[in-house]
Amino acid sequence: MSPFVSLNRAGKLVDFFRVLLGKDVVVRIYTRPPSQQSGSLSEHAEQVINQFENLGSKVIQRKGMHQKIAIIDGKIAWEGSLNILSHKDTQEQMRRFEGENAVQEIARNLELDKVESGSSAGKLCPRCFEEGIEINLVQKQGRYGIFWGCPRFPACRYTENISRRRRN
Complex with Zn ion: residue 36 or 136, whichever CB lies closer: 136
Complex with Zn ion: residue 78 or 158, whichever CB lies closer: 158
**Residue 142 Cβ, how far from Zn ion at the closest point, in Å?**
16
**Residue 68 Cβ, how far from Zn ion at the closest point, in Å?**
23
Got the DSSP string for the chain? Answer: --S---HHHHHHHHHHHHHHHHTT---EEEE--GGGS-THHHHHHHHHHHHHHHHT-EEEE-TT----EEEETTTEEEEES--TTT--S----EEEEESHHHHHHHHHHTTHHHHHSS---SPBPHHHHHTT---B-EEEEETTEEEEE-TTTTT---EEEPPP----
**Residue 159 Cβ, how far from Zn ion at the closest point, in Å?**
9
Interface residues toward Zn ion, by CB under 5 A: 125, 127-128, 150, 152, 156, 158
Phi-psi region of 24 (alpha: psi -120 to 50; beta: other; left: phi over 0): left
Complex with Zn ion: residue 21 or 156, whichever CB lies closer: 156
Complex with Zn ion: residue 18 or 140, whichever CB lies closer: 140
Complex with Zn ion: residue 105 or 131, whichever CB lies closer: 131
**Residue 157 Cβ, how far from Zn ion at the closest point, in Å?**
8
**Residue 111 Cβ, how far from Zn ion at the closest point, in Å?**
10
